[in-house]
Amino acid sequence: MRRTRFDDWPCPIARTTDLVGDWWTPLVMRQAFLGCRRFDEFQQSLGVSRAVLTERLNRLVDEGMLTREPYEQHPPRHEYRLTDKGRAFWPVLAAMWRWGQDWVPDDADPVLVDRNSGEPVVPLVIDERTGEPLDVRRLRLRSG
Amino acid sequence: MRRTRFDDWPCPIARTTDLVGDWWTPLVMRQAFLGCRRFDEFQQSLGVSRAVLTERLNRLVDEGMLTREPYEQHPPRHEYRLTDKGRAFWPVLAAMWRWGQDWVPDDADPVLVDRNSGEPVVPLVIDERTGEPLDVRRLRLRSG
């Protein structure tokens, strides 16, 4: 049975959910952000079945979030690289990281740090226009 | 077949994915943020089956993101209200909104506006410590 599709709903959340709204895709993207490029790296780091991983990687390539690039000719081998569209998805996972850290914390978690300064990174979602943190109580939608 | 569970992985993204990583849950939360409280409001606004909606709402109540509150005694009726934990999830959806708007845009989309000022809201994920937008190329994990 095909699930309901959200890719033509007039809502950016619905369309984003259509792309990444399953249990494995955000974790595949997380591994890409952490530097995974080869199928086996994704597979071993996540412990996901090869069939599920193939399907998720193909979807991310079809949607333009990853590209498949050859790195060896004999035998033919390829790796997955983030596109600009894929890289731009990091803030979404970072917002998930922050919420998870605040509301479902675990002492075993690694710490997100800045590669240059070595300092912890603390993701915060603000309104770019005002610089203030978002508050859902101030949310309203206006027809486009 | 039960899907793989991520709720005990040492990663805030994995645990958050475990809670909301399916196609309907982010949209149920979106409707809660937009003011839906009653089962029929969720059901009619999303066009989701009653069985699927019941399952998703129950999960969100079990996880402490929504509470079920009676609003009528005869006959007994209840509604769903956001908890602090649920309300704190809005920035995650706001980050999805921004990415969706930038990368899978649609002219029919409504505009996110501030209830008080009426101005458009532009979600941006920054590092709270430095005030700078996040860049995945500067990401590193350090063991906790």
Domain contains A2 = no
Report which DSSP code applies to B119.
P
Domain that holds residue B101: 12-138
- Is the pLDDT reported for residue A16 higher than 80? yes
Q: What is the pLDDT, as a whole number, of residue A63?
A: 92
The SS3 call for residue B85 is: helix
Nearest neighbour of B6 by CB, restricted to A12, A23, A129: A23
Domain contains B67 = yes
Report which DSSP code applies to B104.
S
What average pLDDT score do residues B36-64 get? 94
Domain contains B1 = no
Distance from the Cα of A115 to chain B's closest Cα (Å) equals 5
The CATH number of the domain where B32 resides is what? Answer: 1.10.10.10
Residues B124, A123: C-beta atoms closer than 8 Å? no
As for how many domains chain A has, the answer is 1
What average pLDDT score do residues A117-127 get? 95
Cα atoms in the 13 Å half-sphere on the side-chain side of B53: 20
Report which DSSP code applies to B137.
G
Lowest-confidence region among A8-22, A89-103, B44-58: A8-22
Instruction: Output b/e per residue, B40-50; b: 16+ Cβ within 10 A.
Output: ebbbeebebee
Domain contains A59 = yes
Contact of A128 with B122, CB cutoff 8 Å: yes
Q: Inter-axis angle of helices B50-62 and B39-46, to 10 degrees?
A: 120
C-alpha closest to that of B79 among B91, B92, B89, B66: B66
Domain contains B91 = yes
- Is the pLDDT reported for residue A8 higher than 70? yes
Residues of B in contact with A87 (CB under 8 A): 136-137
Note the pLDDT tens digit of each residue in B68-111: 999 888 888 999 999 999 999 999 999 999 999 999 989 989 99
Cis check: omega of the bond before B12, within 30 degrees of 0: no
Report which DSSP code applies to B2.
P
Lowest-confidence region among A5-19, A108-122, B24-38: A5-19
Residues of B in contact with A89 (CB under 8 A): 99
With a CB cutoff of 8 Å and minimum separation 6, the contacts of A107 are B144
Q: Give phi and psi for A141, each to the nearest 5.
A: -110, 140
* Partner B, chain A 56-85, Cβ-Cβ below 8 Å: 82, 85
State yes or no: ipTM above 0.95. no
What average pLDDT score do residues A41-56 get? 94
Cα atoms in the 13 Å half-sphere on the side-chain side of B84: 3
Q: Is the dihedral of CA A86, A92, A93, A94 positive or negative?
A: positive
- pLDDT confidence bin for B9, thresholds 50/70/90: confident
Domain contains A45 = yes
Residue B116, amino acid: N
- pLDDT confidence bin for B2, thresholds 50/70/90: low
- Is the pLDDT reported for residue A117 higher than 70? yes
Residue A81 CA to its chain's centroid (Å)? 13
- Is the pLDDT reported for residue B18 higher than 60? yes
- pLDDT confidence bin for B1, thresholds 50/70/90: very low
Residues A12, B88: C-beta atoms closer than 8 Å? no
With a CB cutoff of 8 Å and minimum separation 6, the contacts of A98 are A122, A123, A124, B12, B91
C-alpha closest to that of A22 among A63, A56, A65: A56
Length of chain B: 144
pTM, rounded to two decimals: 0.92
d(CA B128, CA B101): 23
Per cent of chain B over pLDDT 70 is 97
Domain contains A17 = yes
